[in-house]
Structure 1
């Protein structure tokens, strides 16, 4: 019996040894083949001079993205969002403690630092109130009474996974905020939550297009017929790529996404860099009023601001046509925004950031007597309460966030959004990776992030002595200058007076 067992053991060991030898030979053969390929190829100098081991460079370069995030960067060093910024979002989304010990790690002296001015007699809790809803589109057949000053910015189904969109939709409905569809069309996953939706029309008119890319009025009527669709946003440009249309790699254009968008499956989804039928402010107002006539819903446009000439031309044309012809809202995106794929030269160098463009738009509208008529919405890296509070103090009516809500869904800033390999399931259509994103759980996180954002912005407002966030004004903020000392925000961006009297709404 024992000799039989020993014989079995020897046989197994012989097979293991044989497999090991074969594996070793296969490894050596592979190394030899890679060595020959590296030595003979002429494209990569590192691989040609250091065959085989040169491949480690690319591997280490890839791993560096993750090691820098967890081991080598300090809490406030990383870009585009540092660990301290992301940590607040994660804690808010999980609805756990957001208090810290031993003082701030934020450097309060760099130029541009925002400082809110506390009042010696802050608003007591019993005197605090919620920000009231705002009416958008008074001349529409179906105006929209928007409940929340903080909402979900445009992210399309395609750029995001279906589970991510569904979780956002459900969370937004519970939170009482709107969700913007992004330019990828209206999907069933946007509708599933039952909350308010802003339908975005991009340059390719996805979801409401003819085969030639022009606007299909019948499809627009169908989309507008959904009660959940409260507003329509015409996108001229977005933060990550002003002057460039949306980019969706072929591997992310599934059959379902292609059907929703009205394009071929398995081919890159590349939007035109502008609307062919909109080449000036007259064309823009024509399109806005056309969409508004068909839909009956408030219509505005989204863009990145490059200069104020366009704004003055727009206001001049509105005054010629009448105040009812104006867009119901303008969404300003910051040049440093972007939750999807974009060319680096555009998101690094083109367009103005929200710190310059928001006051520019507000001042022009006030000067031209259109501030009451046109609501101003802004987005751009506002994932923390300080950014939202600054935007409201500057004068914005609403603030949006895309990447903040992505973090709430579990995004770890792996920078894989454009590769269909997102490890958290947020931006991938790989069903195995999507399993990690459990919709009911993440919807709750979206809700908690929104709730705790409102609470924290309210806390800043109350500290400044006002009862609710929209009562924050420019004189409640100071900005650190190059001297190291701060100056009032209302001196940097003075309040404007209306130079063109118009009837008040």
Structure 2
């Protein structure tokens, strides 16, 4: 034994390295799983190493500022700088190819809108609430979002607890609403921000023991959580329309299992279609039943493909006066959720095509004033927002942009539970890197700077509120012989004018959310909840 130890001790360091190389060589030659390693022993491992770090090399070294997808370096840098409240300007002119197809040109007015010395809201000079009210004249508790930019549906489970809490506190600071996503209402959604409770085909948070929708649980949830201001029924999402959501078992902790009412550690697969209703007629009645039971505005969310059912929906709404109070249109290019590439790349229309098609159906049936339109699909940039408002949007929901504001680095491994920034993982260790107070402030700064720039572009065009934009205020490069055309010429419609009498009037709205409600309205809301609790 002593001789063996003495022999090993006399082996030089390079001898150990050589021995390891020999062992790896023998393993590679004998193994049958990887052809590259068998044919190129030892050196073949460098191929797999470079492949594993390829995305990082391209992101930080190879790709140029405008090349990456889904968000290029310039877009990410603007969000990061805005979230940190740092200089988000750029110098020496644009580096965009302004002649490329689909390039947007916002028409400035000869005389910009004259901003008074004192903003109507002196505490928040970038106050920019929705110009329309969800459920006005139809529901017991109508709701006017106090911010035109809000957090889109991203569930606790898909995102980490610290990420969800950061976003909710950021929404409170920004007077925005926070959409729960289909994972149910978690404790981290209850940190002060307005909440839109969203559910899909799995009915998480409002499901019974058999996985079916429970109206009693819905009424109880609304009664116990006055911060829930609206309810959204998900029909489909941009990431994978027509396919149910998937949450890997590795992401399902005991806490998530309790909130969702599902088993621990098993993959949660939502069915592609709803069991609580059948057909468009059933959807309308389902929406009306929830609105009657809760008193809240109820909307639907969908990515757009075939239009036959949308035609049936608007026909029923026009004939009966029933139906959703708001419509969230998701683009096929959107989606924080994991999805098969075939779905993410090819199923559902991009937002601009899907929204324009649906809006025209509602316009044809004179329903646009009754519905609040919410846009979602890479619209979290001021110029894109101007385009969306010109086309008929009333509010914008942001998902990935909000994730970037709290530290997401676009690693694109959300579905693996290995998110390096702690935003999209249930790893306790990686979540510790998220400072909730700091990230909530960053969320609020992103929203503030977004609204600031959106307002400045609105004023440059001669308007007070982005809802006043028309289809003729934005041109788009089409690449044909006409070179550029107005949105009205490209998509063959004009948006219906949104009733707007001034930001000062919006501020005095009794249904305004986000902490702006007059004291009387707060008392009325509490009284309504109390009465509904008794009625239940």
Q: TM-score, normalised by structure 1?
A: 0.91
Matched length:
480
Match of 1:283 in 2: 282
Deviation at 1:405, TM superposition (A): 0.6
After TM superposition, give the deviation of residue 20 of structure 1 in Å: 7.6
The answer for the alignment partner of 2:229 in structure 1 is 230
Deviations along 1:262-319, one digit per CA (max 9) or x if unpaired, are 1001111221112134442112112212222222211111000103222111112223
SS at match of 1:487: strand
2:438 is aligned with 1:441: yes
Match in the other structure for 1:179? 178
Partners of 2:129 and 2:146 in 1: how far apart? 7
- Deviation at 1:447? 0.3
Gaps in structure 1 of 5+ consecutive residues: 1-13, 499-505
Offset from partner CA, 1:135-181 (integer Å, 9 cap, x none): 11121121112111111000000010000000000000010000000
Show the counterpart of 2:110.
Answer: 120
Superposition RMSD in Å? 2.1
* Preserved contact between residue 152 and residue 179 of structure 1 (Cα < 8 Å): yes
Q: Which runs of 5 or more structure 2 residues have no equivalent in the other structure?
A: 121-126, 497-536
Classify the secondary structure of the residue corresponding to 1:459.
helix
- Does the aligned pair in 1 maintain the 2:102–2:478 contact within 8 Å? yes
Distance between the aligned counterparts of 2:263 and 2:22, measured in 1? Answer: 43
- Closer, same or farther: CA 56–126 of 1 in aligned 2, 3 Å: same
Q: Does 1:329 align with 2:320?
A: no
1:64 aligned residue (54, 59, 72): 54
- Given the alignment, which residue of 11, 18, 39 partners 2:9? 18
Query: After the TM superposition, which of the residue ranges 406-415 and 39-48 deviates more from structure 2?
Result: 39-48
User: C-alpha distance in 2, partners of 1:426/1:371?
Assistant: 37
Say if 1:366 and 1:496, in contact at 8 Å, map to a contact too.
no
Residue of structure 2 aligned with 1:386, choices 353, 363, 383: 383
State the match for 2:76 in structure 1: 86
**Using a 3 Å threshold, how does the CA distance of structure 1 residues 118 and 213 change in structure 2: closer, same or farther?**
same
Structure 2 CA distance for aligned equivalents of residues 145 and 480 of structure 1: 35
Deviation at 1:18, TM superposition (A): 3.3
What is the aligned partner in structure 2 of residue 10 from structure 1?
A: none
1:267 to 2:270 alignment = no
User: Which residue number in structure 2 is paired with residue 501 of structure 1?
Assistant: none
Deviation, 1:44, is: 2.8
Measure the CA separation in 1 of the matches of 2:315 and 2:219.
30
Q: Distance in 1 between matches of 2:418 and 2:184?
A: 23
Q: Is 1:170 aligned with 2:169? A: yes
- 1:186-265, aligned counterparts within 5 Å? 186-192=185-191, 194-225=192-223, 226-265=225-264
Task: Name 1:296's counterpart in structure 2.
Answer: 295
CA contact (8 A) 1:367 1:496 kept: no
**1:135 is paired with a residue of what secondary structure?**
coil
Alpha-carbon deviations, 1:70-93, whole Å to 9, x = none?
Answer: 111110000111001111101110
Secondary structure at the counterpart of residue 316 of structure 1 = helix
What do residues 402-442 of structure 1 show as CA deviations (whole Å, max 9, x unaligned)? 01110100111111211111111111111111111100000
Deviates more, 1:405-414 or 1:281-290: 281-290
Higher mean alpha-carbon deviation, 446-455 vs 284-293, is at 284-293
Tell me if structure 2 keeps the 8 A contact 1:332–1:354: yes
| Equivalent residue, structure 2, for 1:6 | none
